[in-house]
Amino acid sequence: MTPPELKAFFEPKSVVLVGASELSGEGAVSAAFFRSLAYNISKFKSGKVYGVDLSGKLEKYEKKLTKVPKGLDLAVVSLPKDLLKKNLSILLAKRTKALVLISGELEPKQKEELGNLAKKGKLLLLGPKATMGIINTGNGLVAAPYQALAPRQGNIAVISQDGGLAAAMLDWVCFHGVGISKFACVGDGLGVDAAELIRYLAQDKKTKVICVYLETVKEGRKLIGAISEATKTKPVVVLKGGSEDERIFEAALKQAKALQVQGIEEIFAVAEGLAKQPPMHGNRVAVITNVAGQARLLVKSLVKEGLVPAELSAETTKKILNKHPHVSILGFIDLGIGAKADLYKFVGEQLLSDKAVDGVVVVNAIKSTLLEPKDVREISAIAKKSKEKPVVDLAPGGEDNLHVREVLADTELPVYDQPEKAARVMKLLGMRGKILEKVERKI
Amino acid sequence: MSAAKKKVAEIISLARKEGRSELLELESKQVLAVWGLPVKRTELAKDPDEAVRLAREIRYPLVIKIASPDIPRRSEAKCVKVGVGSELELRQAFSEIVNNAREYKPDAKILGVTVQEYLPSSREVVVGALQDQSFGPTVWFGLLGFWVELLGDISFRLAPLSAEDAREMIQEVKGYPVLQGIRGEPSADVGALVDIIQKVGQLAHEFPDISKLNIDPIFAFEAGKGAVVANARVFLGGSK
């Protein structure tokens, strides 16, 4: 199947932003959104930008829609119901290729008209109520109504059916420095829906992992078809909200090989792991640590997730102990509180070349040890070299984790603050590994 | 259209012509048998003599049930006899069941009784299909008894489904160890169940007007000895 042509949304050569900057009462939300949008869109340098402020206040903005040229790629609209009703037909007459309706309820008649245009392929429509808009970090397009929003560039794509959840997810990725490729808030899905976005992102070279928040689904088969197709080449991580009996929905997601998670924190923990590390083929996980307690908690979590602490081969054990006799190998590999980067690296390399190990978790305790965050950066080199087996980092705690996160930010080693999270990520890396093995067998 | 598909369509259209939204037991089983599922041999006997003649072919012990489109809850109507062991018992069971049926519902249309072989004890599972509003044809699986009724221990998959999906469905239920065999019991024939689930999925996929299908129970024998459909109900939806 060819992917839907959604280029006008994400890579527009011309954009028009339409709103009214000074509204009070019912339309005030649209006005506030519009002002933030104007700020964010002003940073977009990869195409021509036009602006229309129906309140006539914003500098360099036209007062009327009629002044805007025809045939632009993308229109981003934040208007309340009554103003939208008055201006929508003018906007449509401009034959804009794609329309993002950030706010604004539609009249039933307008809804029908827009729906028909979208169905006939004459208009790419996102929304209405695509409250959090659309983002492409690759070209600096941030059409989201959230002042000075600047997510890091990365390879995780995010789609949300719900505006509030979309905002929370964006907030999360910005605060924690998670790199994203593209973002879209689906809203009512009158035109483009989650399924089409997934199909587009499945082909998107900048995207390695697709994260989706889903609620209600009208065309279940279409969605499941899109996910099944996408998961053949990249992981799709789904967070599901909703109230009705979801067992069929969840079974269908499983059948489509989506990875299901339970919350925002988990979706990005897993997505970062999948984006930065190869999937795991097997369930034997080795743990290297400089403190025993954290490693014990981690091993407990790994076992709870159905994983097995790796039993090193005699050869690996001998190699490590010959050179470093003080290292303890008993369920996990304890390097001792004096361990620095070189010891971590040496042991890590031995583990990754051991056939009895499928993946590695590196535990870095900082405060009670001689290890420093900059050592952890050196350790990340082993994760970069490992193409077949995943390596993740556990830097437990609050401040310590923050420091380690900082030094690892631009590396390929994902870092977690809790053993449960690191274990969960290993589990899902293993699930992804199994899925890929099945895909390969079918090919 | 394949011969099987044609035959199923015929059975459905006959029921529709007669204004029924549920197939008779014999029809339901016929649909499944035509579709390649192993179905317990079930024959209709219009009178005691015919029942006796069929019993000689099927062999005792037998299960005897009323055959009436108006009595779907046959146990409640005391219209089922299990373990009928001889000709004498069979003749008694025939008249008793028919009398009970008349008492239960005097105006019920009675076609006779169904005569089936009585199978040895085995693990019992249920397989069903439904048409979900958003996801279309869907199959489900569970272990009969409190697993399904009390714990709601059921797994789902969209149809049609691969053998691997069907196997996952079976392994996914909490009661799966029962099929693997507990306390030294041999494992049940999971492969035979996989086959049944897949075929039910294909049936639900090809016949959207089957709104609901319950196979309850399926007897799952020891590994290598197969499984057999003991009872099934097929419901028709919409008006096509």
Query: A188 to chain B, minimum CA–CA distance in Å?
Result: 17
Phi, psi of A182 (to 5 degrees): -135, 160
SS3 content of chain B, % helix, strand, coil (to 5): 40, 30, 35
Residue A135: predicted pLDDT = 96
CA distance linking residue A114 with residue A119, whole number of Å: 9
Residue A291: predicted pLDDT = 95
Read off the pLDDT of residues A131-158 as tens digits, 9 standing for 90 and up: 899 999 999 999 999 887 789 999 999 9
B135 to chain A: which residues are within 8 Å by CB? 220-221, 224, 248-249, 252
A129: left (phi over 0), alpha (psi -120 to 50) or beta: left
Q: Which of A221, A254, A438 sits opposite B136 (nearest CB)?
A: A221
B155 to chain A: which residues are within 8 Å by CB? 251
CA distance linking residue B191 with residue B200, whole number of Å: 14
Q: List Cβ neighbours of A401 (8 Å cut-off, separation of 6 or more).
A: A395, A415, A416, A417
Q: Do B158 and A252 touch (CB under 8 A)?
A: yes
Residue A322: predicted pLDDT = 96
Q: Do B135 and A249 touch (CB under 8 A)?
A: yes
Contact A316, A293 (CB under 8 A): no
Query: B186 to chain A, minimum CA–CA distance in Å?
Result: 26
Residue A243: predicted pLDDT = 64
Tell me which residue of A245, A238, A242 sits closest to A263, measured CA to CA.
A238
Read off the pLDDT of residues B107-150 as tens digits, 9 standing for 90 and up: 999 999 999 988 877 899 999 999 999 999 999 999 998 888 87
Residue A443: predicted pLDDT = 61
The most distant pair of C-alpha atoms in chain B lies apart, rounded to whole Å, by 54
A224 to chain B: which residues are within 8 Å by CB? 135, 158
Cis omega (within 30 of 0) on the bond before A235? no
Lookup result for tokens 């009390």:
B150
Q: What is the third-level CATH fold of B41-118?
A: Dna Ligase; domain 1 (3.30.1490)
Q: Which amino acid is at A344?
A: Y
**Predicted ipTM of the assembly:** 0.81
B123-236 in CATH: which number?
3.30.470.20
Residue A110 CA: distances (Å) to CA of A31, A53, A92, A128, B188: 21, 22, 11, 11, 59
Helix (H) or strand (E) holding B216, with range, is strand B210-220
Question: Is A402 touching B (CB cutoff 8 A)?
Answer: no
Architecture of the domain whose range is A7-274:
3-Layer(aba) Sandwich (3.40)
Mark A324-339 as b/e (b = at least 16 C-beta within 10 Å).
eeebeeeebbbbbeeb
A245 to chain B: which residues are within 8 Å by CB? none
A438 to chain B: which residues are within 8 Å by CB? 164
Contact A148, A126 (CB under 8 A): no
**Chain B residue with Cα closest to A221:** B135
- Measure the N-to-C terminal CA separation of chain B; round to a whole number of Å: 18
Percent of chain A with pLDDT over 70: 98
Q: What's the token pair of residue B228?
A: 């057999």
Q: What's the token pair of residue B32?
A: 């499944």
Percent of chain B with pLDDT over 90: 78
Percent of chain A with pLDDT over 90: 74
Contact B22, B233 (CB under 8 A): yes
B156 to chain A: which residues are within 8 Å by CB? 247-248, 251-252
Q: Do domains A7-274 and A278-442 have the same CATH topology?
A: yes
pLDDT at A288 over 70: yes
For chains A and B, CB pairs below 8 A equal 36
Place B240 in a pLDDT band, splitting at 50, 70 and 90: very low
Q: Which of A221, A254, A438 sits opposite B135 (nearest CB)?
A: A221
Q: Do B158 and A221 touch (CB under 8 A)?
A: yes
Question: Is B157 touching A (CB cutoff 8 A)?
Answer: yes
Q: Do B132 and A217 touch (CB under 8 A)?
A: no
Between A385 and A178, name the one with better pLDDT.
A178
Residue A2: predicted pLDDT = 56
Tell me which residue of A37, A75, A100 sits closest to A65, measured CA to CA.
A75
Lookup result for tokens 């005030």:
A28
Query: A253 to chain B, minimum CA–CA distance in Å?
Result: 9
pLDDT at A50 over 50: yes
B164 to chain A: which residues are within 8 Å by CB? 438
Contact B229, B32 (CB under 8 A): yes
Report the range out of A90-99, A182-191, A354-363, B39-48 with the highest average pLDDT.
A354-363
pLDDT at A40 over 60: yes
Question: Is A221 touching B (CB cutoff 8 A)?
Answer: yes
Place A24 in a pLDDT band, splitting at 50, 70 and 90: confident
CA distance linking residue B195 with residue B193, whole number of Å: 5
Question: Is B60 touching A (CB cutoff 8 A)?
Answer: no
CATH fit for domain A278-442, picks 3.40.920.10, 3.90.850.10, 3.50.50.60, 3.40.50.261? 3.40.50.261
Residue A151: predicted pLDDT = 92
Average pLDDT score, chain B: 92
CA distance linking residue A160 with residue A237, whole number of Å: 12
What residue segments make up the domains of chain A, in order of their start? 7-274, 278-442
Three-state helix/strand/coil letters over chain A:
CCCCCCHHHHCCCEEEEEECCCCCHHHHHHHHHHHHHHHHHCCCCCCEEEEEECCCCCCCCECCHHHCCCCCCEEEEECCHHHHHHHHHHHHHCCCCEEEEEECCCCHHHHHHHHHHHHCCCCEEECCCCCCCEEECCCCEEECCCCCCCCCEEEEEEEECCHHHHHHHHHHHHHHCCCEEEEEECCCCCCCCHHHHHHHHHHCCCCCEEEEEECCCCCHHHHHHHHHHHCCCCCEEEEECCCCCCHHHHHHHHHCCCEEECCHHHHHHHHHHHHHCCCCCCCEEEEEECCHHHHHHHHHHHHHCCCEECCCCHHHHHHHHHHCCCCEEECEEECCCCCCHHHHHHHHHHHHCCCCCCEEEEECCCCCCCCCHHHHHHHHHHHHHCCCCCEEEECCCCHHHHHHHHHHCCCCCCEECCHHHHHHHHHHHHHHHHHHHHHHHHC
CA distance linking residue A240 with residue B151, whole number of Å: 23
Query: A218 to chain B, minimum CA–CA distance in Å?
Result: 6
Tally the C-alpha atoms within 13 A of residue B90's C-alpha that lie toward its C-beta.
Answer: 25
Between A104 and B185, name the one with better pLDDT.
B185
Contact A416, A394 (CB under 8 A): yes
DSSP secondary structure code for residue B21 in this structure: S
What residue segments make up the domains of chain B, in order of their start? 41-118, 123-236
Region A118-133 average pLDDT: 87
Q: What's the token pair of residue A87?
A: 């201006």
Place A6 in a pLDDT band, splitting at 50, 70 and 90: very high
Read off the pLDDT of residues B69-114 as tens digits, 9 standing for 90 and up: 899 888 899 999 999 999 999 999 999 999 999 999 999 999 999 9
pLDDT at A168 over 60: yes
Read off the pLDDT of residues A320-370 as tens digits, 9 standing for 90 and up: 999 999 999 989 999 999 999 999 999 999 999 999 999 999 999 999 899
